Structure 1
């Protein structure tokens, strides 16, 4: 099965080791800028997965490419990150990246309900700050209902990063979408993720 996984802010293949063994794992900002993503997905595949910021970028930049995949799964998608996470908190994270970036990243992963946070890579500091700036400004404007092929959106009922009101805005904007509600936080356990992808 050909799977493309577009991660979130400060994500790493080590968070989903089984998936990373076979999937093409793309990390925003450290590996590509959002506007570069369409070119990376042109060939299509079996399953396209976006998590959090990755889901947002896919909805914003790549909706026209969803037809090239048999299935699209968006986990914790949002139209605007600030619908869920106040600008002041994101700016606080940006300021914190100057003082103690490892702690900012560790705290973020903790809020994601990540049991084993990936190690902080100091070489990615500038990319992570660029990602936070992007999350403050990036918004998806959708007028009317959008129908996208074979789309599943997933939300954890105790997600502290993309809260219910932000997820509901995505659900309202999309037509004929399959919604999967799970018990858990922002980071879906790998067995459940694999079940959703292959289901």
Structure 2
């Protein structure tokens, strides 16, 4: 399987072990900074972006989507503060300085994550950088409106990326196929594999 997976904030490989073994598994602010992501992409069959990864792909790499047979963006957004006020993210940043494991555990719980994931202490600076980015980053335009290979996915129980924020992405990408799943923010690995395999 020729696959590139771009994770979200606080993603770890243990969340998606099969995907991590199946291709390139990239974690924002740990493996790359957003402006560098186009340099990592060489084309192929499928690229999947989840949450912050979907946002970065849309912002920095939509001009490269035609290099892939299929582009799947799960829980994309134009601006994260459309879903969560800046004050909440600032509180998370403060919490990361004091007790990062608690902040990350709470976030994963809100994602619907069932695994008890450990936090690598060396990733705290990356997590803070990610939240600072999410406070400021905004997409006004995406060069992908005519691509037939684009799929936008949203879970109807998503507590992280609100429905209105997802709908804003769908509005600027009218040619994309929209899939709404019975899911929280974290779409299960089996569900993603089914999306990759297609009908």
TM range (shorter): over 0.9
Q: Which residue of 2 aligns with 1:146?
A: 145
What is the rounded CA distance, in whole Å, between the counterparts of 1:19 and 1:145 in structure 2?
A: 25
Instruction: Please state if 1:191 is matched with 2:190.
Output: yes
The answer (yes or no) to whether the contact 2:62–2:143 under 8 Å persists in 1 is no
Q: Which residue of 1 aligns with 2:114?
A: 115
What secondary structure does 1:185 align onto? coil
What secondary structure does 2:183 align onto? coil
Runs of 4+ in 1 over 6 A off after TM superposition: none
The answer (yes or no) to whether the contact 2:50–2:76 under 8 Å persists in 1 is yes
Q: Which residue of 2 aligns with 1:101?
A: 100
Q: 1:109 to 1:44 in 2, by over 3 A?
A: same
- Quote how far apart the aligned CAs of 1:148 are: 2.8
Instruction: Please state if 1:160 is matched with 2:159.
Output: yes
The answer (yes or no) to whether the contact 1:66–1:149 under 8 Å persists in 2 is no
- Quote how far apart the aligned CAs of 1:189 are: 1.0
- Quote how far apart the aligned CAs of 1:143 are: 8.2
Q: 1:144 to 1:117 in 2, by over 3 A?
A: same
Q: Which residue of 2 aligns with 1:38?
A: 38
Q: Which residue of 2 aligns with 1:125?
A: 124
**Matched residue count:** 198
Q: What TM-score results when the alignment is normalised by the length of structure 1? A: 0.96
Q: 1:145 to 1:48 in 2, by over 3 A?
A: closer
Q: What TM-score results when the alignment is normalised by the length of structure 2? A: 0.96
Q: Which residue of 2 aligns with 1:54?
A: 53
Instruction: Please state if 1:21 is matched with 2:33.
Output: no
What secondary structure does 2:69 align onto? strand
What is the rounded CA distance, in whole Å, between the counterparts of 2:65 and 2:117 in structure 1?
A: 29
What is the rounded CA distance, in whole Å, between the counterparts of 1:192 and 1:151 in structure 2?
A: 17
Instruction: Please state if 1:8 is matched with 2:8.
Output: yes
- 5+ residue gaps, structure 1, are none
- Quote how far apart the aligned CAs of 1:144 are: 10
